[in-house]
């Protein structure tokens, strides 16, 4: 009985092996078919993405080309505008030389000669000029913007009595920090305060009437509603040399178009001056001669120059 059973089991095992092999081959075929479908889908998607990327690249190149053309057109327009502005400035300067500004007052020539003689006599009695100036102001040209810097109001200046090339910048109308640029080039070319040193003042300044003179900074201070002070600050050792309360009562802004400036310190061949205004003579500008050493007031004048529509003033040759 055992040999017959073996003969019967062999065909059954062979049939089972063939069936498993057939199933495995069908499984492999299904997996390969699925893989081919996925490869085909990936190929289609890759081709579509490549087409979209190529179209996007062409679109970007077209936009860059258009932007470059527009930039070139804007540059040409800017150059043309600069040429027109330069031409306009030259024309304005020419018109200013042909039509000088009128004097503060118009009087009869004979009366003017008498007033000049009387004024000279009085001046010789009280105030003696230190220099004999032979040069006069021929014209004052329109303001040109060198640089946009910080606040809309402020002041930049150089040492009025020295040969230093340093530029001192007061940003705004009230602060306690002065920016110092080594030369005009750094002030005009570099942005913000990257090339500037900073001087921290012991007292804050107000207005835009400050002055650098002979290595010292003369600036205006007001503490609360009190009187104005002139501070003399040594720029070398960063110390206050002297200070003085300005002896004027009921002060008002010295210039009608600069409501934040009550005193402007100026310098000329004669030394230091203070330009100011008071309610007593509120229509005109007043002038005072300052001693640069002690800050004492040597003499004061009521001028006929009007405050209205004025934005600045200067003193030359006394």
What is the SS3 string spanning 2-49? HHHHHHHHHHHHHHHHHHHHHHHHHHHHHHHHHHHHHHHHHHHHHHHH
Query: Quick one: pLDDT at residue 76?
Result: 85
CA distances from 256 to 229, 262, 308, 311 (A): 21, 10, 5, 7
Pair 251, 278: CB distance under 8 Å: yes
Low pLDDT (below 50) residues in the chain:
105, 124
Nearest to 241 by CA among 225, 230, 251, 249: 230
pLDDT at 169: 92
For residue 112, what pLDDT is reported?
61
Predicted confidence at residue 266, as pLDDT, reads 94
User: How far from 310 is each of 106, 259, 281, 284, 294, CA to CA, in Å?
Assistant: 18, 11, 15, 10, 30
First to last CA, the chain: 148
Q: Could you say which DSSP state residue 102 is in?
A: P
Residue 86 and residue 151: Cα distance in Å, rounded? 26
* pLDDT for the residue 40: 85
pLDDT score recorded for residue 190 = 66
Q: Does the domain made of 154-306 have the CATH classification 2.40.128.630?
A: yes
**pLDDT at residue 202, rounded to an integer:** 93
| pLDDT, position 96 | 64
């Amino acid at each position: 009985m055992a040999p017959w059973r073996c003969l019967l089991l062999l065909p059954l095992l062979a049939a089972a092996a063939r069936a498993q092999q057939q199933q495995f081959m069908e499984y492999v075929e299904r997996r390969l078919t699925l893989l081919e479908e996925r490869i085909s889908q990936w190929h289609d998607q890759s081709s579509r993405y490549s087409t979209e990327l190529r179209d996007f690249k062409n679109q970007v190149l077209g936009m860059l080309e258009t932007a470059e053309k527009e930039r070139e057109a804007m540059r040409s327009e800017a150059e043309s505008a600069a040429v027109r502005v330069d031409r306009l400035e030259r024309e304005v300067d020419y018109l200013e030389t042909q039509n000088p500004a009128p004097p503060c007052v118009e009087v009869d020539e004979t009366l003017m000669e008498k007033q000049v003689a009387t004024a000279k006599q009085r001046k010789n009695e009280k105030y003696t000029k230190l220099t004999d100036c032979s040069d006069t102001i021929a014209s004052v040209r329109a303001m040109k913007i060198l640089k946009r810097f910080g606040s809309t109001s402020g002041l930049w200046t150089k040492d009025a009595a020295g040969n230093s090339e340093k530029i001192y910048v007061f940003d705004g109308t009230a602060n306690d920090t002065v920016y110092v640029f080594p030369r005009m080039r750094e002030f005009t070319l570099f942005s913000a305060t990257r090339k500037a040193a900073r001087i921290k003042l012991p007292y804050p300044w107000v207005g835009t009437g400050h002055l650098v003179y002979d290595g010292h900074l003369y600036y205006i201070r007001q503490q609360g509603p009190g009187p104005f002070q002139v501070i003399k600050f040594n720029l070398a050792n960063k110390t206050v040399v002297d200070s003085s309360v300005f002896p004027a009562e009921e002060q008002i802004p010295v210039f009608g178009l600069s409501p934040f400036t009550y005193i402007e310190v100026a310098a000329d061949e004669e030394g230091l001056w203070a330009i100011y205004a008071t309610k007593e003579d509120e229509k005109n500008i007043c002038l005072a001669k300052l001693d640069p050493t002690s800050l004492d007031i040597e003499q004061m004048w009521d001028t006929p120059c009007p405050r209205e529509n004025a934005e600045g003033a200067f003193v030359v040759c006394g």
